[in-house]
Amino acid sequence: MSTEAAPTKKLSPNSIVRARRRAALRRFTSAFGRDRGGMLGLVIIVVFFALALLAPLLFDRSELDVTQATADPYLPPSRTYWLGTDDSGRNVLALVIWGARISLLVGLSATVLSMFIGTSIGIMSGHFRGVTGGAMDRVTEWFLVIPYLPLAIVLATVLGKSIWVIIVVIGVTSWPGTARIIRAQTLSVGSRAYLERARVLGGSNWHQMGRHVLPNVMPLVLANTTLAVSISILSETTLSFLGLGDPTAVSWGSILETAFDNGAISLGAWWYLAAPGLCVVLVVMSFNFMGRAIEGILDPREQGA
């Protein structure tokens, strides 16, 4: 496997692949860096992650405890309480920052689960022809049709209230869209010559899927992941707002739930509602902007536009 035009040290196939991947990554990062929306999204997300990680340093956990709250309830934003206080006198800023931990944790974990299910089913249903692939495609279509929120509500009601249940519920209800996209890509990869070669040389199905199909659908998976995170975070907010979240954990959705239940609307406590909601909007929007930027870079039709 020597390349004649290589005066340098021996180039193994692996190092060629590595060099090519490094170059592709460099092209990608520089294209992404030129996308203003994508970069803005990235910065906002980094800030939110930093706040979530630093939460214990910024506010003590005891600030979340209703019994230890010292301030008056429903104080509007002031010098001491930047975002005001809630119905039991807790600092809304502390709630929102601690809430970021749960909201981001649930959003990311659910996305990983959903991408894993969606990618595996998508690749397999595109790779296996005949009954297996057909059956998987059918199941994907069925899940695509079941209305998403009612299904999530039913599952969460049946399985009980905890963070892990919420993660699983979002993960198992949001994969069909991904599976659809990955399947289409797998079908188009399936007709290429190198896959034919792998098949003729006796590569097993798993080898073909793992070594040849997966790397080809990976960029699409990544672009989809950023969009899936925003859907997961929105779902977490909705489910927690409906009271299906972990009752002991503070997330953006559960803050909105307590605010609504305690009549923040009729009391005009706008800060109590605005703060967690704006966090959701900012994070979701940032992931959407990033997703669009990645899609634009990967989709040749968008180039030069």
Partner 1 sequence: MTLFQEAGVDAAPSALARAGRLAGPSTRYVAKRIFAALGTFAFVVVFNFFLFRLLPGDPIALYTKGRDVDPAQMRALRSTLNQPVLQQFVNYLKNPFSQDASSVKYNLPAWEVIGTRVWPTVLLVGTATLLATIIGVWLGVRSAWARGERFDKVSTNTTLVLYSMPEFWFGMILLIVFSAGVFGLPGLFPSGGLSTPGVDTSSPLGWLNVGWHLFLPVTTLTVIYLSEYSLIMRASLIDEMGQDYLQTARAKGLKEKMVRRHHAVPNAMLPTMTLIFLNLGFVVGGAITIEYVFSINGLGSLTVDALRGPDIPLLQSLFLLFSAAVIAANLFADLLYGRLDPRVRT
Q: What is the residue type of 236?
A: E
Contacts of 248-253 with C-beta under 8 Å, sequence gap 24+, read 249/102, 249/163, 250/64, 250/95, 250/98, 250/99, 250/102, 251/99, 251/102, 251/103, 251/106, 252/96, 252/99, 252/100, 252/103, 252/276, 252/277, 252/279, 252/280, 253/103, 253/280
Closest approach, Cβ 107 to partner 1, in A, equals 13
Secondary structure (H, E, C), 184-201? HHHHHHHCCHHHHHHHHC
Q: Kindly tell me which residue out of 148, 190, 216, 222 binds partner 1, with binding defined by CB under 8 A.
A: 148
Taking the C-alpha atoms of residue 42 and residue 37, their distance in angstroms, rounded to an integer, is 9
CB-based contact 132:221 (threshold 8 Å) = no
The residue within the footprint of partner 1, chosen from 29, 82, 268, 303 (CB under 8 A), is 268
Q: Note whether 105 binds partner 1 by CB under 8 A.
A: no
Determine which residue in the list 1, 57, 131, 158 makes contact with partner 1, applying CB under 8 A: 158
Total residues contacting partner 1 by CB under 8 A comes to 45
CB atoms within 10 A of CB 303: 10
Closest to partner 1 by CB, 61 vs 138, is 138
Question: Nearer to partner 1 by C-beta: 115 or 244?
Answer: 244
CB of 279 to partner 1, least distance (A): 10
What's the min distance (Å) between Cβ of 253 and partner 1?
Answer: 8
Residue 42 binds partner 1, judged by CB under 8 A:
no
Q: Which is nearer to partner 1, 118 or 253 (CB)?
A: 253
Which of 73, 89, 219, 243: binder of partner 1 (CB under 8 A)? 243
Q: Where on the chain is the footprint of partner 1 (CB under 8 A)?
A: 138, 141-142, 145-151, 153-160, 230, 234, 237-238, 241-244, 253, 256, 260, 264-268, 270, 273-274, 277, 280-281, 284-285, 288-289, 292
